[in-house]
């Protein structure tokens, strides 16, 4: 294999490791780990450094998946990219909320459904978002933090417009 192909392979492996790190950080937060504990595990100097690392990993993940998502959304109208974007935003916010699973009965189901929405074909995306919005319409919804309520409302608006 030529050296330049080996270099390309490193980029692919790095992207996989970054995605795995992001998932592990989110899992640790959902499991109750503090940002200080995550920083220590990653060898970072502060809680803020760990939060910034997660934000950079999430942004890189978004950039890497854009070409695939554009292909999935082609031909389904202008509302699909915004619906996908807002479902991914809500999923990220949920991933950063370590108390999410304890907030209401269907928390884990909502998280897993939103995880699938990012790479779902447009038709399935609508079904997944409809399921999430139904799960989030229960009596516990008003007790969500304002930031999550806003993200849910933005998702609902994109769903109605689409």
CA distance 134 to 3: 51
Q: What are the DSSP calls for 75-138, one per residue?
A: TS-THHHHHHHHHHHHHHHHHT-TTGGGTSTTHHHHHHHHHHHTTS-HHHHHHHHHHHHHHTTS
The pLDDT tens digits for 4-17 are 778 878 887 888 89
pLDDT of residue 142 exceeding 80, the answer is no
Q: What tokens were used for 139?
A: 């009596």
pLDDT of residue 44: 93
Give pTM, 2 decimals.
Answer: 0.59
Cβ-Cβ contacts under 8 Å for 52 (sequence gap 6 or more): none
* Dihedral (Cα; 23, 25, 30, 33), 10-degree rounding: 160
């Amino acid at each position: 294999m030529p050296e330049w192909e080996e270099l390309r392979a490193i980029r692919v492996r790095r992207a996989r490791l970054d995605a795995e790190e992001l998932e592990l950080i989110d899992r640790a937060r959902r499991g109750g780990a503090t940002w200080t504990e995550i920083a220590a595990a990653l060898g970072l100097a502060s809680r803020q450094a760990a939060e910034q690392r997660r934000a950079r990993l999430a942004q890189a993940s978004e950039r890497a998946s854009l070409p695939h998502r554009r292909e999935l959304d082609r031909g389904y109208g202008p509302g699909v990219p915004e619906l996908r974007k807002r479902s991914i935003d809500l999923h990220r916010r949920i991933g950063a909320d370590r108390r999410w699973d304890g907030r209401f009965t269907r928390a884990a189901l909502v998280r897993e459904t939103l995880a699938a929405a990012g790479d779902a074909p447009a038709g399935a995306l609508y079904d997944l978002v409809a399921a999430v919005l139904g799960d989030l319409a229960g009596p516990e919804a008003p007790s969500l933090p304002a930031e999550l309520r806003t993200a849910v409302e933005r998702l609902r608006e994109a769903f109605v417009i689409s």
